[in-house]
Amino acid sequence: MGFLLRDLHAVAMGRLEISFGRLRLERPGMVASGIMDETGDSMVRMIKSGAGAVVTKSIGLAPRPGHKNPTFTEVEGGYVNAMGLPNPGIDLFAEEMAVAVRAGPVIGSVFGSNAKEFAELAAKMEDYGASAVELNLSCPHAEGYGAEIGSDPKNVRSIVSAVSSSVDVPVWAKLTPNTSSISELGRAAEDGGAEAVVAINTLKAIVISAELRKPVLSNRFGGLSGPAVKPVGIRAVYDLRGALSIPVVGVGGISDWRDAAEYILAGASAFQVGSAVGTRGPKVFGEINRGLEMFMSDHGYGSVAEMVGVARE
C-alpha cells in the first residue's frame, strides 16, 4: 500500500521532475553546451524533443568564427572536436534567447578571459531570461579561454565569485577533466559561490592521419566526447559528490537511460547529453526519459533525488 501511494504520488508529481539549488526541471536531462544550441529554433526543438533544459552554446563578448575546418571528426567511441568557441557574440544572442526561453528553461553558457568578462556576460544572460548560467571553465581547445584559465583553482574561485555577486540566477561551473584533481576545482567553485558544478568537459585529444602524416583538426588538438569518456565522467562525478556539498551535473558519453542512471547513481543530481544527439538524434531525450522512468518504476524509485549517489553507499 505504501509503495502504491508513493507510486501514485510520483506519477502526479512527474517521477522525472528534479529540483536542485533553486532550479526545478520537469526532466533531468539537458542538452550539453555546444550541441544544436546556437539558434533559438534549434533550442526550441531540443526542448520539444524531451530535454528538461537547454544549455546554450558558449557565448563570448564578440562574434567569433572559431577554428577553421576540420573542426570535428568521428573516432572509435565518440567524436573529437575543436570548434574553437564560434558564436555570434552576446549582443546578437539576445534574439536567439528571446525565441528559446519561451519554450522552456535555458541555461546560458558563457566564456570570458577574466572574471570581469564572465560577470558581464552572465548578467546579460540573466537579462535574456536564462534560468541559470554555466561558466565554461573547461573548453580544451581555445587559446586564452576555458581550461586554460579553468585549470587553476584560484581562477575558478575568483571567476565564480565575481559572477555570483553580479547575478541573481544560479551559477554553475563546468569543470575540466584535464587536471590532476577535479575535486580541487570543484571545491574552488563551491567556495566561490557556485550552486552546482558540471562535469566533465571533453578530454584533450589529437587525431593523426597516418596516410597524410598530419593531425586532422586544424587546431591540431581537440576534445574527445562520446561513449569513450563515460567511465571518466562517472569517476569525476563520484569524486565530486564526495568532496562537495553542492549538486553535481553529470555529462560525458550518455546515450541511453542506463548511462543516465549510472551517472545519477554515482552522484549526479541531473545530467546532460551531447554527442548522442548526433549518433541517435534529438529523439534521444524522449528515449532516455521513457527508459529512466521505467527503470525507476521497476526499482521502486519515486524520484530522481532518491537515486542520487546510491552506488556510493
Partner 1 sequence: MSETVRIIGKMKESRDTYTLEFKWDAPAVPGQFVMVWAPGVDEVPMSLSRVGKIKAITVKGIGEASNAIHGMQVGGYVRLRGPYGNGFDIKKGKKVLAVAGGVGAAALMPAIKETGCDTIIGARSGGEIVLDDVARKYSKNVWISTDDGSRGFHGNAVQLAKEKMSQKDYDLVIGCGPEVMLYYLHKACKEKGVDCQLSLERFMKCGAGVCGCCMMDDKRVCRDGPVFSSEELDRLSDFGTRKRDECGRIVEIR
- In the complex with partner 1, which residue's Cβ is closer, 12 or 210? 210
> Of 50, 24, 6, whose CA–CA distance to 285 is shortest?
50
DSSP string, 68-84: PSP-EEEETTEEEE---
Q: Is 278 a catalytic residue?
A: no
Among 2, 3, 4, 69, the residue binding partner 1 under the rule CB under 8 A is: 69
Q: For strand 72-75 and strand 78-81, is the pairing parallel, antiparallel, or unpaired?
A: antiparallel
> Which range of residues in 67-75, 149-157, 234-242, 289-297 is near partner 1 by CB under 8 A?
67-75
Here the cell at position 241 is 559528490
Pattern 149-188, partner 1, x by CB under 8 A: ----------------------------------------
* Dihedral-angle region of residue 84 (phi above 0 means left; psi in -120 to 50 means alpha; beta otherwise): left
Among 28, 29, 34, 186, the residue binding partner 1 under the rule CB under 8 A is: 34
- In the complex with partner 1, which residue's Cβ is closer, 60 or 186? 60
| CA–CA dist 40, 102 (Å, integer) | 10
Among 14, 24, 41, 102, the residue binding partner 1 under the rule CB under 8 A is: 41
Asked if 86 and 129 count as a contact pair (C-beta separation under 8 A), the reply is no
- In the complex with partner 1, which residue's Cβ is closer, 79 or 301? 79
Among 7, 17, 73, 193, the residue binding partner 1 under the rule CB under 8 A is: 73
| CA–CA dist 111, 58 (Å, integer) | 6
| CA–CA dist 140, 161 (Å, integer) | 22
Catalytic hit among 25, 47, 119, 139? 139
| CA–CA dist 309, 307 (Å, integer) | 6
- In the complex with partner 1, which residue's Cβ is closer, 70 or 291? 70
Which residues 79-108 are close enough to bind partner 1 by CB under 8 A? 79, 81, 83, 86-89, 92
Q: Centre a 10 Å sphere on the Cβ of residue 99 and count the other Cβ atoms it contains.
A: 15
> Of 116, 165, 295, whose CA–CA distance to 306 is shortest?
295
Which residues 248-307 are close enough to bind partner 1 by CB under 8 A? 274-275, 277-278, 281
> Of 100, 118, 115, whose CA–CA distance to 55 is shortest?
100
Q: How far is the CB of 279 from partner 1 (least distance, A)?
A: 8
Among 1, 212, 298, 313, the residue binding partner 1 under the rule CB under 8 A is: 212
Q: How far is the CB of 64 from partner 1 (least distance, A)?
A: 6
Which residues are catalytically annotated?
139
User: Where along the sequence are the contacts to partner 1 (CB under 8 A)?
Assistant: 34-39, 41-42, 44-45, 57, 63-66, 68-74, 79, 81, 83, 86-89, 92, 209-212, 214, 216, 274-275, 277-278, 281
